[in-house]
Amino acid sequence: MGTTEEIKIKKVHTFLDLAIASIVLAAGIGLYFLLPGWGILFCFIGVLLFVFYKREDKRVGEATLLKEKTLDIDPEYRSGIIDFLEDNTDVLDFETTSEADHLYLEVYFNAEKPVAYVRLYDVAENRFDAATEMIELRDSMAEKLISKL
């Protein structure tokens, strides 16, 4: 059930991210009047949190927050995984591995709204070569993949 348009995933702030950054910044402002050096440090850290601390992902153009999960998979399952992702089969079977040459499965998913975005990579000699484009799975296909994570 792949899509023809390019799927882009980006990191985004959540309410909790913004709350943590705000608390650290406020603590820095308050601390500045007692210990100026520490106050400046906390303010600096709070600003950095606002800019860089993003814990969730989402597809560009959509509001659904996604979680990221990655797996190292034994290469013998390559054709079965690709068949599943291209909607040629309903069976998904794989085992994880710690071998140097393996498959790397990158999954962004939301279990409440059964949706998953998946990309498979071939890994050899620390080089990641995309075996598939980012593929969108919905409903039962997404549920099958999410249950395996």
Locate 146 and state its tokens: 């999410």
Decide: residue 31, CB within 10 A, 0-12 exposed, 13-18 middle, 19+ buried.
middle
Can you give the residue range of the structural domain that contains 137?
Answer: 64-148
Name the pTM for this structure.
0.77
Distances in Å between the Cα of 71 and the Cα atoms of 58, 138, 149 are: 19, 20, 8
The total of structural domains in the chain comes to: 2
Shared domain for 91 and 144, answered yes or no, is yes
* 23 vs 56, higher pLDDT: 23
What is the reported pLDDT for 41?
96
Shared domain for 144 and 75, answered yes or no, is yes
Least confident span in 26-35, 40-49, 139-148: 139-148
Does any domain span residue 30?
A: yes
**Final residue of a structural domain among 42, 58, 74:** 58
Does any domain span residue 99?
A: yes
Does any domain span residue 74?
A: yes
The pLDDT > 90 percentage for the chain reads 34
Does any domain span residue 16?
A: yes
